[in-house]
Chain A
C-alpha cells in the first residue's frame, strides 16, 4: 500500500499541486458527506479536471494498491462518500459542464459534477426537463444521483435515475475506459447500465452521463388534502391508485413534520390535520382539470377533512417548498436528526407507522414522518442530540429496528439513499449469504482487488456473522470498526 508521500508524488506527476490536497486543513472539508455522523480524514484528495486525469489517477492508485472513493457534492445520506483514511478521495467537483443539450433527440450529455437542477435549467429553454428531482436537487450532482439511483417527489410517474439515464462513460479502477448503455434503445449484451446505476461508486468512476429529457408539462396543480388520521391518509393513497390515476407526485407528511416545516417556510399547511397528502397532476390543461376533479372526488370519498387546490404556480411551489424543506426544517427543531429511507408495500403503512410510534415510546425519542406515499418510500426522521451519547445509542437502535421492520413487511432498507456505511449491517438482514456472495463476485468482475469505494454497500460475510451475534446479544454497538455517529 502506498504511503501519503508516494501517492502525492505519483498524482503530482500529472496533476497540478492545487489539485492534490493532503494537508489536514485542506482535506478536512472532505471528511464526511451528508451523513455527518461518520467522519474520516482522507489521506489524499484528488481534484482532476479532465477524463484523462481521472484515468491517470485511477491507474496510479491501482498501481500503488491504494483505495479510491469517488465523491460528487457530498450530499449523500448514507456515507457512500466517506473517505478512505488510507487512500484517495476522488472529487468530481470540477466536472461541471453541460456538454450538450440536443433538443431534437431530447437528450443532454453532462459531466458528473453538474448539479441535478442545473440539467433542467439548461433544458428549460427548449421546453424540456430532467425528471428525477431529489429534494437536494439544488446541490446534489448527477454523478451522485447515478451512484445512488436517486428518486425524488415525482418518480411515481417519471421514474428514478435508472429510468432517465441513457448512457454512462467512465473508467474501471484499472483506468480502462468503459461505456455503458447508448442513445439508441437497448444496447447489445447484458444491461450493465442497470447494474452500474445505484452501484454506489463500487464498480466504476463515471465521467459523462447522457440523460433523457422530457417535454415540460404545460401545467401542473397540486391538491393539499387533510386527514384526521394517518392511516386514513394511507388508504386514500391506495384509493387514488385504485381509481386508475398515477399522480405526478403523491407525498404524505404527518403532523409533527408539518409543524416543523410550517415554522420554517410557511408553506400554508393545515396544522390541525394528523396528516396531509400532496397530490399533484400535470399535463395538458384539460387533462389536469379532469384529473384534479377525479382526485378530489376520490380523496373526499376517502375521508379528507379539507381539500385545497393550488390556484396558481406560486401557490403550487409554496405547497411543495414545505415538503422539499422538510429535512432542514426538522434540523431546526432538533440539534440532530437521523433520516431513514425504508420502502414498504403501501398497504403495510398503518402497521409500520404504529411500529414507529411504539419505537418513539420505547426509545424516548421523537420521530416526524415524511413519506413518498405513491411509491412506499418512508423517511422517518429521528430527533436526537449527538452530544448525548445515550441518545445517539438509542437513535441507532431505533433506526435499526425500523429498517428491519421494513424488511419484515416485504420492503427494503433503502429506497433511494443507498446503503453506504450506514445500513451495511441491515444488508445482512435483507440478503442471505449466497446473495451477498454474488454481489461480491459482481464487484470483483469490475474491481478484482476491491480498491474502489471499499467496505461500502455490501457487507462481508464475516461482518454479517458478527452482526447476527450482536443482534442476539442486543445492546452492543454494531460495527465497532467505524467511527460512531
Chain B
C-alpha cells in the first residue's frame, strides 16, 4: 500500500497523470484511459469476512471472482450482481466503475452496499472513511461518493461491502409480449409484494426471475404466469456475452421505469423493470441523448469505437462546478485518471 501511495505522491509532485487499473476488464468503460499505468493488483487479499456480520473487507487488487467464491461457500452473495467483463476483474475496479447487474432494481445498486473504504487521495495520503458496520453517519459519506467515481478522486485500496444470504430458491419465467405490454407488466408486478429479482425484455420475450424462500417463489410464479426456463441468460446479460451486446455502438440508457418505449433505430434490450434500456446500433449520439433526457433519464455511450463526444451525459454548469471542486479537494494536481469521467475532471 505504501508503494501505491509513494507512486501517487511522486506523480503528484511531477504532475504526471496516472491511469489506475486492476485487471483492465473495464478499460472500455468511460472515456479513454490515459497516463502512466498504476497496477493495483499487487495490493490484494481478503482482510476480513465473517458471514454472521454480513460484511466482507478486501483489498483493491483482490479478484472479484475470489470474493464471490468465498461468499458462495458461505451461501452469501454480493446482492448487486456486479458485472466482471472478464476473468481479471478486481474488487477495486468493480467499485470504481460502480456498475450493478440484473438484481439492481430489487436489491439496490453497488453504492448501496458500500460500507467503508480506505483510499489514497491525489496527494498520496492514506485515508479511511465509513467502516464495517451497517449504520454509520459519522462524517460525510465519502466511501459511497467514491463508488462509481472511476478512480478520479482517489485510489480505493480497500473496501468493506455489505453482503446478503443467497436466495434459497430461484426461478426464471418466460412470457411473450411486446415492449409496451412488458413495461406495463413489469411495473404492475413491481408494485406488488413479489420476490422479483430480475427482469429482461428483448424482441417480444420477457424474462422474469423470482428469488427468495421456496414458498414465496412458488406463490409468485403462479401469479406471474409464463413458462419456467431451465437455462437462464442472466449471466450472459450481466457479462454482455449475450449476442445482443456484440453490436456497436452500445448505449446504456437509464430512465424512470415508467418512460414509454423509445422510438429509436436499432435493437433494444430492457432490464431493471424498464429503468435500464440498452440500445444497440442506435442512431446519432445527439438523438439518443435527447431521447434519454426527454424521458427524464440519461444516456451513456457504453461501448463504441469513437467516444469523442464523451461517454457520459454532460453535466449542467452548477453540477460541474461542484464536480470540479470535489476533484480539486481530492486530487489537487489532477493526476488521477484525468478525463476518464469528464474532460474537465
A 437-451 binary contact with B (CB < 8 Å = 1; else 0): 011011011100000
A106-B190 in contact given A162-B144, A438-B121 (Cβ < 8 Å): yes
Question: A178–B319 contact, CB under 8 A?
Answer: yes
Chain B's closest residue to A218 (CB) is B193
B306 within 8 A of A: no
Question: B136–A412 contact, CB under 8 A?
Answer: yes
Chain A's closest residue to B253 (CB) is A184
A176 within 8 A of B: yes
B298 within 8 A of A: yes
A 166-202 binary contact with B (CB < 8 Å = 1; else 0): 0000000000111000111111111110110111000
Taken together as a complex, chains A and B put the C-alpha atoms of A441 and B312 apart, in Å, by: 26
Question: B108–A438 contact, CB under 8 A?
Answer: no
Question: B104–A185 contact, CB under 8 A?
Answer: yes
Taken together as a complex, chains A and B put the C-alpha atoms of A238 and B191 apart, in Å, by: 32
Within 8 A of A (CB), among B100-158: 104-105, 108-109, 111-112, 121, 125, 127-129, 131-142, 144-145, 147-149, 153
Of A186, A416, A435, which is in contact with the most chain B CB atoms at under 10 Å from its CB? A186
Question: A418–B137 contact, CB under 8 A?
Answer: yes
A183-B53 in contact given A416-B137, A435-B127, A438-B142 (Cβ < 8 Å): no
Question: B145–A198 contact, CB under 8 A?
Answer: no
Chain A's closest residue to B126 (CB) is A434
A149 within 8 A of B: yes
A64 within 8 A of B: no
Question: B138–A414 contact, CB under 8 A?
Answer: yes
Of B145, B164, B322, B341, which is in contact with the most chain A CB atoms at under 10 Å from its CB? B322
Question: B192–A127 contact, CB under 8 A?
Answer: yes
B165 within 8 A of A: yes
Of B215, B275, B325, B342, which is in contact with the most chain A CB atoms at under 10 Å from its CB? B215
Question: A186–B98 contact, CB under 8 A?
Answer: yes
Q: Which of A159, A203, A412 is close to B138, meaning CB atoms less than 8 Å apart?
A: A412
Taken together as a complex, chains A and B put the C-alpha atoms of A127 and B192 apart, in Å, by: 8
A284-B216 in contact given A184-B298, A187-B298, A190-B323 (Cβ < 8 Å): yes
B276 within 8 A of A: yes
Chain B's closest residue to A127 (CB) is B191
A160 within 8 A of B: yes
B258 within 8 A of A: yes
Taken together as a complex, chains A and B put the C-alpha atoms of A307 and B333 apart, in Å, by: 61
Question: B53–A345 contact, CB under 8 A?
Answer: yes
Question: B135–A189 contact, CB under 8 A?
Answer: no
Contact stretch, chosen from A240-248, A259-267, A322-330, A473-481: A240-248
Within 8 A of B (CB), among A96-119: 102-107
Q: How far does the Cβ of A442 sit from chain B's closest Cβ, in whole Å?
A: 5
B226 within 8 A of A: no
B185 within 8 A of A: no
Question: A246–B193 contact, CB under 8 A?
Answer: no
A377 within 8 A of B: yes
Q: How far does the Cβ of B339 sit from chain A's closest Cβ, in whole Å?
A: 14
Question: A446–B322 contact, CB under 8 A?
Answer: yes
A344-B50 in contact given A186-B254, A442-B326, A445-B325 (Cβ < 8 Å): no
A 406-445 binary contact with B (CB < 8 Å = 1; else 0): 0000111111111100010001001110110011011011
Question: B109–A189 contact, CB under 8 A?
Answer: no
Question: A416–B111 contact, CB under 8 A?
Answer: no
Question: A151–B135 contact, CB under 8 A?
Answer: yes
A254 within 8 A of B: no
Question: A283–B216 contact, CB under 8 A?
Answer: yes
Which residues of A sit under 8 angstroms from B246, Cβ to Cβ?
Answer: none
Q: Which of B53, B296, B297, B319 is close to A189, meaning CB atoms less than 8 Å apart?
A: B319
A 340-364 binary contact with B (CB < 8 Å = 1; else 0): 0001111100000000000000000
Within 8 A of B (CB), among A286-333: 286-287, 289-291
Question: B138–A419 contact, CB under 8 A?
Answer: yes
Question: B258–A195 contact, CB under 8 A?
Answer: no
Q: How far does the Cβ of A303 sit from chain B's closest Cβ, in whole Å?
A: 16
Which residues of A sit under 8 angstroms from B166, Cβ to Cβ?
Answer: 244
B212 within 8 A of A: yes
B54 within 8 A of A: yes
Q: How large is the interface on B (under 10, 10 to 19, 20 to 34, 35 or more residues)?
A: 35 or more
Question: A346–B53 contact, CB under 8 A?
Answer: yes
Question: A411–B276 contact, CB under 8 A?
Answer: no
Question: B128–A286 contact, CB under 8 A?
Answer: no
A128 within 8 A of B: yes
Taken together as a complex, chains A and B put the C-alpha atoms of A291 and B214 apart, in Å, by: 10
Question: A438–B330 contact, CB under 8 A?
Answer: yes
Question: A442–B329 contact, CB under 8 A?
Answer: yes
B90 within 8 A of A: no
A184-B297 in contact given A162-B144, A216-B193, A287-B215 (Cβ < 8 Å): yes
Question: B135–A343 contact, CB under 8 A?
Answer: yes
Q: How far does the Cβ of B287 sit from chain A's closest Cβ, in whole Å?
A: 18
Taken together as a complex, chains A and B put the C-alpha atoms of A100 and B219 apart, in Å, by: 32
Question: A183–B296 contact, CB under 8 A?
Answer: yes
Which residues of A sit under 8 angstroms from B322, Cβ to Cβ?
Answer: 178, 192, 445-446
Which residues of A sit under 8 angstroms from B55, Cβ to Cβ?
Answer: 345
A215 within 8 A of B: yes
Q: Which of A242, A283, A432 is close to B52, meaning CB atoms less than 8 Å apart?
A: A242
B220 within 8 A of A: yes
Taken together as a complex, chains A and B put the C-alpha atoms of A153 and B316 apart, in Å, by: 38
Question: A286–B144 contact, CB under 8 A?
Answer: no
Question: A191–B297 contact, CB under 8 A?
Answer: no
Question: A376–B129 contact, CB under 8 A?
Answer: no
Q: How far does the Cβ of B100 sit from chain A's closest Cβ, in whole Å?
A: 8
A217 within 8 A of B: yes
Taken together as a complex, chains A and B put the C-alpha atoms of A419 and B139 apart, in Å, by: 8
Question: B256–A286 contact, CB under 8 A?
Answer: no
Question: A427–B138 contact, CB under 8 A?
Answer: yes
Question: A190–B111 contact, CB under 8 A?
Answer: no
Taken together as a complex, chains A and B put the C-alpha atoms of A411 and B194 apart, in Å, by: 35
B257 within 8 A of A: yes
Taken together as a complex, chains A and B put the C-alpha atoms of A114 and B18 apart, in Å, by: 47
Taken together as a complex, chains A and B put the C-alpha atoms of A135 and B282 apart, in Å, by: 50
Pairs across A and B, CB under 8 Å, 30 listed: A128-B191, A155-B134, A160-B135, A176-B318, A184-B275, A184-B295, A189-B312, A189-B315, A189-B319, A189-B341, A189-B342, A190-B149, A190-B326, A191-B148, A197-B141, A198-B141, A241-B53, A244-B75, A244-B165, A283-B213, A287-B216, A290-B214, A291-B213, A345-B132, A346-B53, A376-B134, A416-B135, A419-B138, A441-B329, A441-B330
Contacts A184-B298, A185-B109, A287-B213 known; 10 new A-B pairs at CB < 8 A: A104-B187, A151-B135, A186-B254, A187-B298, A194-B141, A286-B216, A344-B133, A412-B136, A412-B138, A441-B330
Residues on B facing A (Cβ under 8 Å):
50-55, 75, 98, 104-105, 108-109, 111-112, 121, 125, 127-129, 131-142, 144-145, 147-149, 153, 164-166, 168, 187, 190-195, 212-216, 218-220, 254-259, 272, 275-276, 295-298, 300, 312-313, 315, 318-319, 322-323, 325-326, 328-330, 341-342
- Nearest 10 A-B pairs (CB), nearest first? A445-B325, A184-B297, A415-B135, A286-B215, A287-B216, A244-B165, A441-B329, A194-B144, A375-B134, A238-B52
